[in-house]
Amino acid sequence: MRELLKNWKVLVWLAFIALSLASITFAGIQYGIDFKGGTLFQVHLAEKPTADQLGSITSIIQRRVDSFGLRDSKVTPFGEDFLIVQLAETNPGEISRIETILKTQGKFEAMLDGNVLFSGSEIIQIIRDPSQYGVLQNQNEQGFYNWTLPFTLNQRAGQRFASLTFHKCDLVGFSQGQQNQYDCKATYFFIDRPDNSFFVIPKSVFENDNFLFTQGNAALDIPGGESVEKILSNAGIHFIIVDENGLSEAQLQSISSFAEKTVVFPETLSPAAREQLSALGLKTVEEKISQDVPWTWIASGAKTTISLTPGVTGLDPYVDSVENAPIFSDLVITGSGSTIEDAQTRLEDLTILLETGSLPIPIDEISRETISPFLGKEFLDATILMGIVALLLVMLVLFLRYRVLKLTLPIAATVISEIVIILGFASFFRISMDLASVAGLVAVIGTGVNHQIIIIDELLRGSFQKIQQESLLTRTKRAFTIVVATGATMVATMTPLIFFGFGLGKLVGFAVTTILGVFVGVVITRPAFSEIAKYVVEKEEKNKQ
Write out pLDDT tens, residues 237-276. Answer: 999 999 888 888 888 888 887 778 899 999 999 999 999 9
Q: Which domains does the chain have, with CATH numbers?
A: 2-32+372-544 (1.20.1640.10), 38-103 (3.30.70.3400), 108-193+301-358 (3.30.1360), 194-217+229-291 (3.40.50)
Under the banding of pLDDT at 50, 70 and 90, the label for residue 44 is: very high
Can you tell me the distance from the alpha carbon of 423 to that of 122, in angstroms, rounded to the nearest whole number? Answer: 48
486 pLDDT tier (thresholds 50, 70, 90): low
Position 489 scores a pLDDT of 64
Higher pLDDT, 149 or 339: 149
Residue 226 pLDDT > 80, yes or no?
A: yes
Q: What is the pLDDT of residue 461?
A: 66
Look at residue 257 in the predicted model and tell me its pLDDT: 79
- 417 to each of 326, 384, 414, 421, 450, how far by Cα in Å? 74, 15, 5, 6, 16
The average pLDDT across 84-110 equals 89
Contact 360, 53 (CB under 8 A): yes
Q: What is the pLDDT of residues 438-483, one digit of tens each?
A: 888 888 887 778 777 777 777 776 544 444 445 556 655 655 565 6
Give the pLDDT confidence of 373-426 residue by residue, as tens digits: 777 778 778 878 887 887 788 788 878 877 777 778 888 888 889 899 999 998
Could you give the CA distance from residue 231 to residue 302 in angstroms, rounded to a whole number?
A: 8
How confident is the model at residue 459, as a pLDDT?
74
pLDDT at 469: 44
CB count within 10 Å of CB 233 equals 16
Average pLDDT over residues 277-294: 88
pLDDT > 90 in the chain, percent? 40
Q: What is the pTM of this model?
A: 0.74
Asked if the model's pLDDT at residue 332 lies above 90, the reply is yes
**Type and span of the H or E element at 369:** strand 363-371
Task: Say what the pLDDT of residue 468 is.
Answer: 46
pLDDT digit string, tens, across residues 114-137: 999 999 999 999 999 988 999 976
**Helices 435-465 and 505-520 sit at what angle, rounded to 10 degrees?**
30
Peptide bond into 317 cis (omega under 30): yes
Average pLDDT value over all residues in the chain: 85
